[in-house]
Amino acid sequence: MSARLPVSGSFPTVRPRRLRQSPAVRDLARETDVLPRHLVLPAFVREGLSAPAPIGSMPGVVQHSVDSLRRAAVEAAEAGISGIMLFGVPAVRDAVGSGADDPEGILNVATAAVAAEVGDALVVQTDLCLDEFTDHGHCGVLDANGAVDNDATLERYVSMGLAQARAGSGLLGLSGMMDGQVGAVREALDAEGFTDTLILGYAAKYASAFYGPFREAVDSQLHGDRRTYQLDPGNRREGVREALIDEAEGADVVMVKPAMAFLDVLREVRDAVTVPVWAYQVSGEYAMIEAAAANGWIDRRAAVLESLLSIRRAGADVVLTYWATEAAGWIRAQ
């Protein structure tokens, strides 16, 4: 016997294609979009540069001088994106990352310069982690056995967070994956009167191969890996657990990172917490699309916009992406 088809009078009776028939109908039917305000630009500033220096593994991205960073921040604001996340590359490193909480350290100096330049047009944000500032490249300080010492690191994060808030950062991006980091930094900020300084907890930050190009961008000194503090890529529930802990400790925003290889985690975190959820489209995601586009294997602009849309659809309220300013320009021109 042949299967009965859902025929009643005319066939077929159910026509999903009706909602795809023209650009205007598709506009009415689209569930997700990407607007400039959904984007934040990560940017690198390197001590001692007088002109921007290209990053080989991230074509189109540079290490900025303080002056070129200021200009990039103005362009980002003009493009209508919401924020800029600053990463510092110091000239000198040591075991405890002294440059991180030095008011004259590159990241703090650059933060003050950018904040003075753009005012409230962008949320000026700072990476709060020691890895760029330590001579061993780990995100925290080491104990006598060479292991990353969680609680000693928290003291360094508190000091770094206060230095960043004093420099004018509006949002501290706690990316080091130490237990208790959100609670410790929140308490210290509040005690010093920085009750309006936002905290982004990198809640579900995975030990990922997709950070490869970033390590060149910040001249990373790391040998080995970060598997004792970043999450195992096999674990989804643990990502949700970390997000719930960060929310309970007072994080204003939580993060899932990387984005595209962890969209399932992103969706689960979005469903589990009530604070905004951001996702970080990391250096390796950027480099893959750029490399394929440079070879003529992919339509660069379409692939970038689709990647951002997919991250938003999975549940990101905001996406950190190296394409933020450029993509905002495309979106506004559409």
* CB 211, min distance to ligand PBG, A: 4
Q: Which of 205, 226, 270, 312 is catalytic?
A: 205
* CB 134, min distance to ligand PBG, A: 11
Query: CA nearest 82: which of 333, 251, 318, 301?
Result: 318
Binding site for ligand PBG (CB under 6 A): 127, 129, 131, 139, 175, 211, 214, 226, 282-283
Q: Which of 46, 93, 136, 257 is catalytic?
A: 257
Closer residue to ligand PBG, CB minimum distance, 97 or 183: 97
Tokens in use for 17?
């294609």
Closer residue to ligand PBG, CB minimum distance, 36 or 88: 88
Instruction: With beta carbons less than 8 A apart as the criterion, state whether 174 and 200 touch.
Output: yes
CA distances from 12 to 8, 18, 21 (A): 8, 12, 16
* CB 19, min distance to ligand PBG, A: 36
* CB 208, min distance to ligand PBG, A: 8
Query: CA nearest 111: which of 154, 58, 162, 158?
Result: 162
* CB 169, min distance to ligand PBG, A: 15
Measured at CB, which residue is nearest to ligand PBG? 214
Query: CA nearest 160: which of 195, 124, 130?
Result: 130
* CB 127, min distance to ligand PBG, A: 6
Closer residue to ligand PBG, CB minimum distance, 211 or 262: 211
Q: Which distant-in-sequence residues (6+ apart) come within 8 Å of 282 by Cβ? A: 208, 210, 211, 214, 257, 258, 259
Query: CA nearest 253: which of 195, 322, 325, 318?
Result: 318
State the Cα–Cα distance between residues 287 and 139, nearest whole angstrom. Answer: 23
Closer residue to ligand PBG, CB minimum distance, 170 or 284: 284
Q: Is 257 a catalytic residue?
A: yes
Which amino acid does the sequence have at 189? L
Closer residue to ligand PBG, CB minimum distance, 131 or 290: 131
Which is it for the CA torsion 159, 165, 169, 170, positive or negative?
positive
Q: Is 82 a catalytic residue?
A: no
State the Cα–Cα distance between residues 99 and 103, nearest whole angstrom. Answer: 8
Where is 257: in which H helix or E strand?
A: strand 253-257
Closer residue to ligand PBG, CB minimum distance, 53 or 121: 53
Q: Which distant-in-sequence residues (6+ apart) come within 8 Å of 85 by Cβ? A: 40, 41, 42, 43, 125, 126, 127, 173, 320
* CB 141, min distance to ligand PBG, A: 14
Closer residue to ligand PBG, CB minimum distance, 157 or 214: 214
Q: Per 3-state DSSP, what percentage of the chain is helix, strand, and coil (rounded to 5)? A: 45, 15, 40
Tokens in use for 50?
């007088």
Looking at the annotation, which residues are catalytic?
205, 257
